[in-house]
């Protein structure tokens, strides 16, 4: 009798939840899933007016394009450098802010500010700082160091990495702080009593309990690294230095020339790469959990 009542309650509660979720599901499908599916379909067709199926022709032409290969290699290189860097820095800052240090609350607020400040307004400051006649070159020349044309040399990649770190590190710090607060303090006290050092505690306690958080932070950092086009475009324009010519630059240029087939093919390949990376990270986390159990 109680089982029938429970099943009826679950069925009623599920119907209510589905009713509330329908507007969000409808909006997500209308503005994200359906346009993406149409884009994937367009990547296998030829022309915009007289469409016909051409198979993988657009993808073969895309892979043969030198500008696409340059954009893809720059994007993956940027992600390979910036994601581990932001992971280490954000975890270190989170561990520092989790302790009772001076001005801890003010520092927490300072790391959150980049999340709420409009990027377009802050980019003006970055432009003034990294311009040929900007403040950074003025400081360098004051120490007898030659001026650097930051945005027109290979140093432009370092500038974009710094901007990426500044913009996204606060979000990762918040996630790591939440994860660190979930670790019972008793574990650290027991480890201290048994003579375990800080490094042993970090590897055996902190890293074990932060595994899920680390995987999530890595996924979000990779996605954000693929979205660095906004900052790069605002700082360097449509055609930046070759070292910071990203996938989004290529797709933006294809959109400007109305080459929809190459645009959708590039977007599909980028989305596919992100999906494969996410699946791989989630599988790695699952294997790690099974190993720890």
Instruction: Sketch out the chain's domains with CATH numbers.
Output: 66-292 (1.10.3720.10)
The pTM score is 0.79
The 10s digit of each residue's pLDDT in 122-168 is 777 777 788 777 788 888 887 778 887 777 787 888 888 888 888 88
Q: Which residues of the chain have pLDDT under 50?
A: 1-2, 5-6
pLDDT at 82: 92
pLDDT at 247: 85
The 3 state secondary structure assigned to the chain is: CHHHHHHHHHHHHHHHHHHHHHHHHHHHHHHHHHHHHHHHHHCCEECCCCCEECCCHHHHHHHHCHHHHHHHHHHHHHHHHHHHHHHHHHHHHHHHHCCCCCCHHHHHHHHHHHHHCCHHHHHHHHHHHHCCCCHHHHHHHHCCCCCCCHHHCCCHHHHHHHHHHHHHHHHHHHHHHHHHHCCCHHHHHHHHHCCCCHHHHHHHHHHHHCHHHHHHHHHHHHHHHHCCHHHHHHHHCCCCCHHHCCHHHHHHHHHHCCCHHHHHHHHHHHHHHHHHHHHHHHHHHHHHHHHHC
pLDDT at 89: 92
pLDDT at 11: 61
Question: If you average pLDDT over every residue of the chain, what do you get?
Answer: 81
pLDDT at 8: 56
pLDDT at 2: 46
């Amino acid at each position: 009798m109680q089982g029938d009542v429970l099943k009826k309650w679950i069925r009623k509660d599920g119907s209510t939840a589905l009713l509330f979720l329908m507007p969000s599901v409808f909006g997500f499908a209308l503005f994200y899933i359906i346009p993406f599916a149409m884009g994937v379909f367009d990547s296998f067709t030829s022309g915009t007016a007289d469409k016909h199926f051409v198979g993988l022709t657009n993808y073969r032409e895309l892979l043969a394009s030198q500008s696409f290969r340059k954009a893809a290699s720059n994007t993956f290189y940027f992600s390979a450098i910036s994601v581990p860097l932001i992971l280490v820095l954000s975890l270190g800052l989170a561990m520092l802010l989790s302790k009772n240090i001076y001005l801890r609350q003010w520092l927490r607020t300072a790391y959150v500010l980049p999340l709420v400040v409009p990027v377009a307004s802050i980019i003006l400051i970055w432009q003034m700082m990294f311009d040929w006649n900007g403040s950074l070159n003025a400081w360098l020349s004051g120490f007898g160091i030659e001026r650097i044309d930051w945005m027109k040399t290979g140093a432009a990649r370092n500038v974009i990495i710094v901007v990426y770190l500044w913009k996204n590190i606060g979000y990762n710090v918040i996630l790591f702080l939440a994860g660190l607060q979930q670790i019972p303090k008793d574990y650290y006290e027991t480890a201290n009593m048994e003579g375990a050092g800080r490094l042993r505690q970090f590897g055996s306690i902190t890293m074990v309990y932060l595994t899920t958080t680390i995987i999530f932070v890595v996924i979000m950092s990779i996605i954000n690294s693929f979205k660095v086009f906004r900052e790069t475009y605002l700082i360097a324009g449509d055609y930046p230095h070759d070292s910071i010519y990203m996938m989004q630059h290529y797709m933006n240029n294809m959109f400007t020339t109305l080459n929809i087939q190459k645009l959708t093919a590039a977007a599909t390949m980028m989305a596919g790469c992100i999906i494969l990376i996410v699946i791989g990270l989630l599988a790695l986390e699952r294997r790690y959990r099974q190993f720890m159990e």
